[in-house]
Amino acid sequence: MLSLQHISKYYQTGGNKAYVLNDLSLDIDQGEFVSIMGPSGSGKSTLLNIIGMLDEPTNGYHYFMEQPVHQLKEKQRSALYKQYIGFVFQAYHLIDELTVYENIETPLIYQNIKGAERKALVADMLDRFNIVGKKDLFPAQLSGGQQQLVGIARALIGKPKLLLADEPTGNLNSKQGEEIMELFSKINKEDGVTIIQVTHSEKNAEYGSRIINLLDGRIESTTTL
């Protein structure tokens, strides 16, 4: 599904190149649940952003769903990620002005899906995540765990093939974190959604099928569980 070959990303600082990613290659198959770990500054988030096409590598080859991403134009790339990829953030990044219902609905609006169909899809999602009673609340009225649930619901509403999560439990307490991880497992197994998550927690990493350890922009080790 996804193939990165000889990906590098560096910043020019003075005469030196500061590498964030250094000649990194990685393949991920459909249905995998990958956890990326590593100390701060090892390039985890950059790698995730490059996979999500929010960021571009300095050089290297990037294939996603059989398409050469490194050759695509900005517009085509964004069309590609809009269709296949969902994002979950550490800080949830819900829109404060919108209710739970409307936050989940937003991606559908931008995909020009008709009102009646949107209603049905959102209702399904609310039902599935057990947040029907909260649908008219604003993000500020929810706990962190609840906000992250909404964030995941929003990421899934567009039926993505790939879910990217950047420290999804980083702002949550351990109980809430556990619930989110259980949910990820379920989504991965039942819906067949490929998941790539960045995490600091060993425990959460173990929910995945493969753990990749990064150090200084390179893959240090890979553990398959």
Partner 1 sequence: MIKNYFKTAWRSLWKHRVVSFINIGGLAVGMAAAVLIFMWVQNEFNFDGYHQNAANIYRIKNHLSIDKRTTWIWENSSYRMGEEASRQIPEVEKVTRIRPLNYAPTYFKINGEFFPEKDVALIDSSWFDVFDYEFVSGGPEAFNSEPFSLILTESKAKKYFGNKEAVGQIIHIDTLDYKVQGVIKDIPANSSFTFDVLAPIASRRANPKEKENEMQWGNFYYITFLKLNPRSNTKKVAKKIETITAKARETNNLAISLTPLKDLHFESGLQNTALRQGNKKAIVVFGALGVFLLVIACINYVNITTARASLRAKEVSIKKIVGAGRGTLFMQFVAESMVISLFALIFTVIIISASLPWFNSFTGRNFTLDPGNISLLTVVLGTLFFAVVLNSIYPALLLSSFKPLNTFRGISVLKLNDATLRKALVVVQFSFSILLIVGVITIYRQMSFIRSQNPGYNRSQVLSFGLPFRRFFRTITDEQRASTTQSIKNDLKALNMVTNVSLMAMSSIQNNDGQSSGGLDWDGREKDFDPAMAYFQVDADYMKIVKMQLKEGRWFDEGRKFDRKNAILNEAAVKELNLHKPYIGQRLVSRGDTGQVIGVVKDFNFKSLHEKIGPAIIKLDDYYSTDYLIQVAPGKQAEAIKGIQKVWDKYCPGDPFNYTFLDQEFDNMYKEDAKVSGLMSVFAIVAIIISCLGLFGLAAFTAEQRGKEIGIRKVLGASVSGIVTLLSKDFIYLVLISLVLSSPLAWWLMNKWLQNFAYRAELQWWMFATAGIIAVLIAFCTISFQAVKAAIVNPVKRLRSE
Q: Which residues bind partner 1 (CB under 8 A)?
A: 49, 54-55, 78, 82, 87, 89, 93-98, 102, 106-107, 109-112, 154, 158
Q: Give the nearer residue to partner 1 in terms of CB position, either 97 or 190.
A: 97
Q: Give the nearer residue to partner 1 in terms of CB position, either 150 or 211.
A: 150
Q: Quick check: 34 and 209 in contact, CB under 8 A?
A: yes
CA 95-101-102 angle, to 5 degrees, is 45
Q: Give the nearer residue to partner 1 in terms of CB position, either 111 or 223.
A: 111
**Closest distance to partner 1 from the beta carbon of 161 (Å):** 15
200: its two tokens: 């600091």
**Closest distance to partner 1 from the beta carbon of 164 (Å):** 10
**Closest distance to partner 1 from the beta carbon of 65 (Å):** 17
Q: Give the nearer residue to partner 1 in terms of CB position, either 123 or 210.
A: 123
**Closest distance to partner 1 from the beta carbon of 24 (Å):** 19
Q: How many CA atoms lie within 13 A of 174 on its CB side?
A: 3
DSSP E strands in the chain: the ranges are 2-13, 16-28, 33-37, 59-64, 67-68, 85-88, 162-166, 194-198, 210-215, 218-224
**Closest distance to partner 1 from the beta carbon of 82 (Å):** 4
Q: Give the nearer residue to partner 1 in terms of CB position, either 48 or 211.
A: 48
Dist CA 16 CA 27 (whole Å): 30
C-alpha distances in angstroms, 118 versus 36, 158, 161? 34, 10, 19
